Amino acid sequence: MNKENKEKVKMNVCQIKDCGRPTHKESKYCIFHASAVEKTEEEFKEALEDYINRVTRESRVYNFEKFIFIGDLDFSKDFNLNKIHKCNFKGTEFYNGKVRFDTIEFSRETKFIDCKFVSKVSFIGSEFRDNLYIGNVHFFDQVNFNKTRFHSIEIKGTTFEGGMNSFNEAYFGGDLLIESCRFMHDIDFSHAEFHGNVKMGGKEFNNSIFNFEGADINYNFEIFFNSMKKIQIKFNNITTYPTFTKIIIAATNAGIYFNNANLEKTELCFELHNSTFIDFQKTRMKDTYLRYDQIKHFIVQENRKDYEQAREVYLTLKNNFHSIGRYNDESSTYKMEMDMERFAYFKNSRYLKWIISGFLNFLYGYGEEPLKVLRFAIIVILFFSFLYFNYGISLFIPEIRNVKYDFFQNVWLGIKNTKLLISIIINFPWGDYLNSLYFSLTTFATLAFGNIGPITIVSKIIAGIESFIGPFTIALFVYTFARKTGGR
Q: Give every CB contact of residue 205 below 8 A, 6+ residues apart in sequence.
A: 182, 183, 184, 225, 227, 228, 229, 231
CATH of residue 431's domain is 1.10.287
pLDDT value for 430:
78
CB-count burial class (<10 Å; 0-12, 13-18, 19+) for 156: middle
164 in any annotated domain = no
460 in any annotated domain = yes
Q: What number of CA atoms fall less than 13 Å from residue 22's CA on the CB side?
A: 6
230 in any annotated domain = no
Position with higher pLDDT, 301 vs 85: 301
Query: 308-318 pLDDT, tens per residue?
Result: 999 999 999 99
* Amino acid identity for residue 419 in this structure: K
Instruction: Tell me whether the omega of the peptide bond preceding residue 370 falls within 30 degrees of 0, making it cis.
Output: no
Give me the phi and psi of 269, to 5 degrees please: -125, 135
Query: 277-295 pLDDT, tens per residue?
Result: 999 999 999 899 999 999 9
130 in any annotated domain = no
pLDDT value for 414:
66
pLDDT value for 391:
86
166 in any annotated domain = no
pLDDT value for 4:
44
- 260-288 residues labelled b (16+ CB within 10 A) or e (exposed): ebebebbbbebebeeebbbbbbebebeeb
Position with higher pLDDT, 449 vs 106: 106
Distance CA 279, CA 234 (A): 9
How many structural domains is the chain composed of?
1
The region of weakest confidence among 1-10, 15-24, 385-394, 475-484 is 1-10
Angle, to 10 degrees, between the axis of helix 370-391 and the axis of helix 430-444? Answer: 130
Q: Are strands 267-273 and 246-257 parallel, antiparallel or unpaired?
A: parallel
Q: Mean of the per-residue pLDDT values for the chain?
A: 88
Residue 418 pLDDT > 80, yes or no?
A: no
Query: 210-248 pLDDT, tens per residue?
Result: 999 999 998 899 999 888 888 999 999 999 887 678 999
Query: 73-92 pLDDT, tens per residue?
Result: 999 888 888 888 888 899 99
- 173-207 residues labelled b (16+ CB within 10 A) or e (exposed): bbbbbbeebbbbbbbbbbbbbbbbbbbbbbeebee
pLDDT value for 228:
80
In 3D, which of 6, 24, 4 has the Cα closest to residue 15? 24
342 in any annotated domain = no
Give me the phi and psi of 273, to 5 degrees please: -140, 160
449 in any annotated domain = yes
204 in any annotated domain = no
Alpha-carbon distances of 313 from 99, 133, 236, 342, rounded to whole Å: 46, 41, 15, 15
208: how many CB neighbours lie within 10 A of its CB?
23
Our measurement of the distance from residue 347's CA atom to the centroid of its chain's CA atoms, rounded to an integer in Å, reads: 27
The region of weakest confidence among 7-11, 200-204, 281-285 is 7-11
Q: Give every CB contact of residue 28 below 8 A, 6+ residues apart in sequence.
A: 14, 15
113: how many CB neighbours lie within 10 A of its CB?
17
Find the domain containing 408 and state its range.
Answer: 370-485
Residue 8 pLDDT > 50, yes or no?
A: no
| Section 399-425 average pLDDT | 68
Distance CA 260, CA 281 (A): 7
| Section 181-203 average pLDDT | 91
pLDDT value for 76:
86
Angle, to 10 degrees, between the axis of helix 407-416 and the axis of helix 418-426? Answer: 140
The confidence band for 259, taking pLDDT boundaries of 50, 70 and 90, is very high
pTM: 0.83
Task: Return the bridge partners of 149, or none.
Answer: 127, 171
